[in-house]
Amino acid sequence: MEIHWSIKRFDELTVQELHDLLRLRVDIFVVEQNCPYPEIDGLDVTALHVFAQNTDSSMIAYARVLPPAPADVPHIGRVVVQADHRNKGIAGVLMERALDVVLQRYGSRRSALAAQAHLEHFYARFGFVRQGPDYLLDGIPHVDMRWV
């Protein structure tokens, strides 16, 4: 399977790409995980969007990189891979690409993320370290992590 990777600002996304990334995120985070929450949070307009499409242009993986808040680091979030494309190494490539975006845009891979707690070991593979205890976010256990 051939995969095409893209990195775009919000104003560079096509209408179809915006639809597809929102649908992928809702399909996984809201429907699959049975977690109603405000998916469209207003932060996409300032994010860099990292995504993969297969040969028929279906979006199969996505992450966003938010700019740093004052005196903080960029934040990687909404990391998702379509269910039928999991366990193929795509999530690892997605994280490497997101970290490359952070490096190229901000000069370092220093960044943060709020990981679902069961994925802590996945993110640790990329250099992220737990920054405190688990907490509930929209009813799902999470942990704050930083790349240090």
Query: The tokens of 90 are what?
Result: 């795509």
pLDDT of 70 strictly over 90 = no
Q: How confident is residue 99, by pLDDT bands cut at 50, 70 and 90?
A: very high
- Domain edges within the chain: 3-107
Query: Which letter does DSSP use for residue 119 in this model?
Result: G
- Per-residue pLDDT of 33-67, as tens digits, reads 988 888 899 999 999 999 999 988 899 999 999 99
Measure the CA–CA gap between 60 and 62, rounded to whole angstroms.
7
Specify the pLDDT at position 140. 92
Region 82-108 average pLDDT = 96
pTM of the prediction?
A: 0.94
Q: Which fold has domain 3-107?
A: Aminopeptidase (3.40.630)
Give CA–CA dist 15/143, Å, rounded.
33
In terms of phi and psi (left: phi > 0; alpha: psi -120 to 50; beta: otherwise), the region of 53 is: beta
Calculate the average pLDDT of the chain: 95
Which single residue is written with the structure tokens 């976010």? 137
